[in-house]
Chain A
Amino acid sequence: MKLDSKIPEGPIADKWTNYKDHLKLVAPNNRPKIDVIVVGTGLAGSSAAASLAEMGYNVKAFCFQDSPRRAHSIAAQGGINAAKNYQNDGDSTFRLFYDTIKGGDYRAREANVHRLAEVSGNIIDQCVAQGVPFARDYGGNLDNRSFGGTQVQRTFYAAGQTGQQLLLGAYSSLSRQIGQGNIQMFNRHEMLDLVKIDGKARGIIARNLVTGEIERHSAHAVIIATGGYGNVYFLSTNAMGSNVTAGWKIHKQGAAFANPCYVQIHPTCIPVHGTNQSKLTLMSESLRNSGRIWVPKKKEDAEAIRAGKLKPTQLAEEDRDYYLERKYPAFGNLVPRDVASRAAKEVCDEGHGIEANDTNEGVYLDFSSEIQSKGRQTAYAKGNHHPTDEEVTKLGKQWLEEKYGNLFTMYQKITDENPYETPMKIYPAVHYTMGGVWVDYNLQSTIPGCFVAGEANFSDHGANRLGASALMQGLADGYFVLPYTVSNYLADEIRTGKISTDSPEFVEAENRVKDSINKFLNNNGSKTVDHFHKRLGLIMWNKVGMGRNEAGLTEAISEIAALKEEFYKDVYVPGSADELNQELEKALRVADFIDLGQLMAMDALQRKESCGGHFREEYQDSEGETLRDDENFSFVGAWEYMGYDISKEILNKEELKYEFIKIAARNYK
């Protein structure tokens, strides 16, 4: 397989502008003759579908939820980055570009990341024009905050519901186009295969999740914007329905899958409560602006806390280890996510964990210092220069409530503890996947006509994504990249005409889907889908999680291969094909997760270095920090499907060239 990244020549700052100026166009009168399919309606999918429909293309959009507004982008909390420099703290396109490359531990493509930084400001302008109600200051201007891995305030936000507001903005544009008849929306539909004709993507097979009908849809281009694959771990912060099926199906049809081992384990999530747990909940990274992370210095204190004999608020200041501030004074509690997560694992592995669950895994996120300092500031601003302690505490809590109220409420609902009074308990959880379908500079996969956007592709975050960059990338891809690059591809399709769905390729793809459904329904096994999914999740978390090593990965590969055999032999799926059947939906998704899980372990095994979220225990420096091997591993690992046996997949390499940024060891100290 040949990987051509199609990165344009020229200085980094001019690449995109020059390239865009020379892309082919489709004239307005030709656009209505061209069909485009968009699968997924999160930030990337909704924004792409709306933008392409506004241009005049015939768009069909698909989502598995009951409404496009429910895609999991809705749950993003903290914010969206943009190099606006509204806070006059020295931000620029170059700095956002630099921070993102460095944050990704020098494993992302320079040209893609620079383009992302370039269009970041346009995203904020576009969203404000749509009526997205971002947070503002008393002068009426947009407010900003800081996120991990940066020393500027470039994050725009809407309380702790930024993803919701941005998605509802994109959904409003999508709805406008649906209302005008430019987009045909298919709710409660799941893409189950890609149809290729003469090597090009020409359509999809989708299942109507209400009636069970298997439908054929043709198009001149197919855009996959179906999000990440974090649910391969069973427990993650992803929505229950988030899945890799669309991405995996195109992989099986010839799209390379890149860097599957790059997974983001987010440092601030609510710890696991028990074996019936179905998902994990994130507490936004923005909280690290105001909260200080600590564990008890003495193991006996940690033990007493777990046993309920000691309260965290009773522990004296000198008995607390603010380990991030201690180890990383320059960035403190705002180190990048991968660094913060590993540090939490380290202190818990050493016996300082405070959560009374099976693994004792949990650390504190404490707001008491912030309550005091913000309380005092607020009192002062109100002309009260000698506030009492009570007044300070009250004002400080009010300040927190205004800034993070919804997060604090959510925490209290889930844990039954009041975070205004006692520190939050947090622990890392699977959150985001940097890996994904390999795409070139046009966001086109190795299948012509099949584009991949947002979290579903691999392109911009390297081995670790910085906070508030996922929303930026999703909207950059959908609003400001795909409309140009997809048009360039479609310029050669204006003579193709309507694509028939009666061709043998459509029939064959439909039969493939029907066969796999019937196989599950007639299997008559003895165990539920969740039984297998949970077992897969445990293997992944223990052996392909925060700390990985050769022995564990080798075991994981064979255990997952064996699990696959058992799954197909013994899974039981009730009900029939021609009705709403949620167990069947899960079975089809878990089948793909099992394959992907094995590939992730293979990818982690071949990458004999540590970088970003990929931490190989064999490759660390004397202080336990990641040790990259730029000489041998400065490449994108793009896997090629070779059939049922995943161990046969072939690794292709795209070399990463750093022409504009000097590659260096990451240092947040």
Chain B
Amino acid sequence: MSAAKNININLKIWRQKNAKAKGSMETYKLDNVSTASSFLEMLDQLNEELVNEKKEPVAFDHDCREGICGMCSLYINGRAHGPDTGTTTCQLHMRKFNDGDTIFIEPWRSKAFPVVKDLVVDRSSFDRIQQAGGFVSVNTSGNTIDANATPINKGDADKSFEAAACIGCGACVATCKNGSAMLFVGAKVSQYALLPQGKVEATERVLNMVRQMDEEGFGNCTNTGACEVECPKGISLENIARMNREYLSASLKG
């Protein structure tokens, strides 16, 4: 472990008053940033300085700051969630940067994720895709069957979990040159496709989720694989292939 030290950095940050306003990149200088700080703590430090100077702080989305809620969403130096792999912005630390660096920070850029303000975007399109079919239709009751009544092959359960580990951050969309949401949708479809509980509605699920995805204005997949590279949870491209198989067989049935 390298001991923490302080660095001075330059920031180029996208500022945009609201959804309708025209935005621009603004320049800030920030001194004495500890390399042990997280990237978002660095932005906290900037905001604290801005507010003390009676200037408007930079709006950005964040909540759990432990890499699981999926709320943070920054495009840093041209990469979703920044230079580290397998990580969210909140788990990126300043030790990845050097004294004197200039860091570019932008919001997710995608037609289906309109900017709300500064670095904050609207990802409700993801919610609507989930609402179209990302569930098993089972009501709450105390009368479902015992949890161990249906054994599930460990390999399938593990793969289902790996797909379900998606945090819905949208890095896959932001990084894709087509703005495609296939990795997100593929992961959700796969989680259910791999489990017996998901089989009953498999046909409707994949057709409805893909239809909603297209309506939201996401682009198509051309297999560049950028999404997999930037996914903080390592969701595999296999899930897109599985969704395509599910979609094909559902279309033939339909």
**Residue in B34, B52, B92, B152 whose beta carbon sits within 8 Å of that of A274 in the complex:** B34
Please determine whether A126 and B157 come into contact, CB atoms closer than 8 angstroms: no
Least distance between B141 CB and chain A CB atoms (Å): 8
In the bound complex, what is the Cα–Cα distance between A141 and B151 (angstroms)? Answer: 5
Q: Is A409 an interface residue when CB atoms closer than 8 A count as contact?
A: yes
In the bound complex, what is the Cα–Cα distance between A664 and B57 (angstroms)? Answer: 54
Please determine whether A69 and B64 come into contact, CB atoms closer than 8 angstroms: no
Please determine whether B135 and A574 come into contact, CB atoms closer than 8 angstroms: no
A66 with B71, Cβ < 8 A, contacts A165-B164, A274-B34 known:
yes
Within 8 A of B (CB), among A501-552: 528, 530
Q: Is A575 an interface residue when CB atoms closer than 8 A count as contact?
A: yes
Please determine whether B135 and A172 come into contact, CB atoms closer than 8 angstroms: yes
In the bound complex, what is the Cα–Cα distance between A176 and B133 (angstroms)? Answer: 7
A276 with B91, Cβ < 8 A, contacts A133-B161, A172-B134, A416-B1 known:
no
Q: Mark B94-131, 1 if CB is under 8 A from A, else 0.
A: 01000000000000000000001100101110110011
Please determine whether B62 and A54 come into contact, CB atoms closer than 8 angstroms: no
For A479, give the chain B residue with the smallest CB separation.
B140
A528 with B36, Cβ < 8 A, contacts A65-B71, A164-B165, A187-B124 known:
no
Please determine whether B146 and A125 come into contact, CB atoms closer than 8 angstroms: yes
Q: Mark A174-192, 1 if CB is under 8 A from B, else 0.
A: 0110110000010100000
Q: Which residues of B contact A65 (CB under 8 A)?
A: 63, 69, 71
Within 8 A of A (CB), among B13-68: 17-18, 34, 36-38, 40-41, 44-45, 48, 51-52, 54-57, 59, 61-68
**Residue in B51, B93, B140, B195 whose beta carbon sits within 8 Å of that of A483 in the complex:** B140
Please determine whether A572 and B54 come into contact, CB atoms closer than 8 angstroms: yes
In the bound complex, what is the Cα–Cα distance between A388 and B68 (angstroms)? Answer: 38
A580 with B120, Cβ < 8 A, contacts A125-B144, A140-B154, A277-B41 known:
yes
Which range holds the interface residue count of chain B? 35 or more
Please determine whether B123 and A66 come into contact, CB atoms closer than 8 angstroms: yes
Q: Is B87 an interface residue when CB atoms closer than 8 A count as contact?
A: yes
In the bound complex, what is the Cα–Cα distance between A639 and B168 (angstroms)? Answer: 40
Q: Which residues of B contact A210 (CB under 8 A)?
A: 116-117
Please determine whether A74 and B91 come into contact, CB atoms closer than 8 angstroms: no
Give the A interface residue count (CB, 8 A): 86
For A86, give the chain B residue with the smallest CB separation.
B148
A414 with B93, Cβ < 8 A, contacts A54-B140, A133-B161, A164-B165 known:
yes
A413 with B132, Cβ < 8 A, contacts A47-B140, A128-B147, A279-B65 known:
no
In the bound complex, what is the Cα–Cα distance between A130 and B145 (angstroms)? Answer: 12
Least distance between B155 CB and chain A CB atoms (Å): 9
In the bound complex, what is the Cα–Cα distance between A323 and B135 (angstroms)? Answer: 47
Least distance between B71 CB and chain A CB atoms (Å): 5
Least distance between A62 CB and chain B CB atoms (Å): 14
Within 8 A of B (CB), among A470-495: 479-480, 483
In the bound complex, what is the Cα–Cα distance between A410 and B92 (angstroms)? Answer: 10
**Residue in B40, B61, B144 whose beta carbon sits within 8 Å of that of A129 in the complex:** B144
Q: Which residues of A contact B197 (CB under 8 A)?
A: 128-131
Least distance between B242 CB and chain A CB atoms (Å): 15
Please determine whether A416 and B123 come into contact, CB atoms closer than 8 angstroms: no
Q: Mark B185-218, 1 if CB is under 8 A from A, else 0.
A: 0000001100101100000000000000000000
Q: Is A560 an interface residue when CB atoms closer than 8 A count as contact?
A: no
Please determine whether B93 and A274 come into contact, CB atoms closer than 8 angstroms: no
Q: Which residues of A contact B57 (CB under 8 A)?
A: 574, 582-583
Please determine whether B151 and A140 come into contact, CB atoms closer than 8 angstroms: yes
Q: Is A278 an interface residue when CB atoms closer than 8 A count as contact?
A: yes
**Residue in A67, A416, A579 whose beta carbon sits within 8 Å of that of B117 in the complex:** A579
Q: Is A392 an interface residue when CB atoms closer than 8 A count as contact?
A: no
Q: Is A168 an interface residue when CB atoms closer than 8 A count as contact?
A: yes
In the bound complex, what is the Cα–Cα distance between A279 and B139 (angstroms)? Answer: 37
Q: Is A596 an interface residue when CB atoms closer than 8 A count as contact?
A: no
Q: Is B160 an interface residue when CB atoms closer than 8 A count as contact?
A: yes
A134 with B157, Cβ < 8 A, contacts A67-B123, A125-B146 known:
yes
In the bound complex, what is the Cα–Cα distance between A74 and B70 (angstroms)? Answer: 10
In the bound complex, what is the Cα–Cα distance between A413 and B90 (angstroms)? Answer: 10
Q: Is A644 an interface residue when CB atoms closer than 8 A count as contact?
A: no
For B70, give the chain A residue with the smallest CB separation.
A70
Within 8 A of B (CB), among A571-586: 572, 574-575, 579-580, 582-583
Q: Is A142 an interface residue when CB atoms closer than 8 A count as contact?
A: yes
Q: Which residues of A contact B87 (CB under 8 A)?
A: 413
In the bound complex, what is the Cα–Cα distance between A138 and B152 (angstroms)? Answer: 9
Q: Which residues of B contact A68 (CB under 8 A)?
A: 127
Least distance between B21 CB and chain A CB atoms (Å): 10
Q: Which residues of A contact B51 (CB under 8 A)?
A: 528, 572, 574, 583
For B92, give the chain A residue with the smallest CB separation.
A413
Least distance between A29 CB and chain B CB atoms (Å): 18
In the bound complex, what is the Cα–Cα distance between A281 and B88 (angstroms)? Answer: 14
Please determine whether A140 and B41 come into contact, CB atoms closer than 8 angstroms: no
Please determine whether B165 and A67 come into contact, CB atoms closer than 8 angstroms: no
Q: Mark A116-136, 1 if CB is under 8 A from B, else 0.
A: 000101101111111111111
The list of the 9 closest CB pairs from A to B, nearest first, reads A140-B151, A179-B131, A172-B135, A133-B161, A51-B140, A129-B144, A133-B160, A128-B147, A70-B69
B interface residues, Cβ below 8 angstroms from A:
1-4, 17-18, 34, 36-38, 40-41, 44-45, 48, 51-52, 54-57, 59, 61-71, 84, 86-87, 91-93, 95, 116-117, 120, 122-124, 126-127, 130-142, 144-148, 151-154, 157-158, 160-161, 164-165, 167-168, 191-192, 195, 197-198
| 16 residue pairs A–B, Cβ–Cβ below 8 Å | A50-B140, A66-B123, A66-B124, A124-B147, A125-B144, A131-B191, A133-B160, A137-B154, A140-B157, A165-B161, A172-B130, A173-B140, A239-B69, A276-B34, A277-B41, A308-B3
| New A-B pairs, 14, CB < 8 Å, besides A172-B134, A414-B38 | A69-B127, A70-B69, A121-B147, A125-B145, A133-B158, A133-B191, A176-B137, A210-B116, A279-B65, A281-B65, A410-B67, A416-B1, A530-B48, A574-B56
A interface residues, Cβ below 8 angstroms from B:
47, 50-51, 54, 65-72, 74-75, 84, 86, 119, 121-122, 124-142, 158-159, 161, 164-165, 168, 171-173, 175-176, 178-179, 185, 187, 210, 237, 239-241, 273-274, 276-279, 281-282, 308, 409-410, 413-417, 479-480, 483, 528, 530, 572, 574-575, 579-580, 582-583
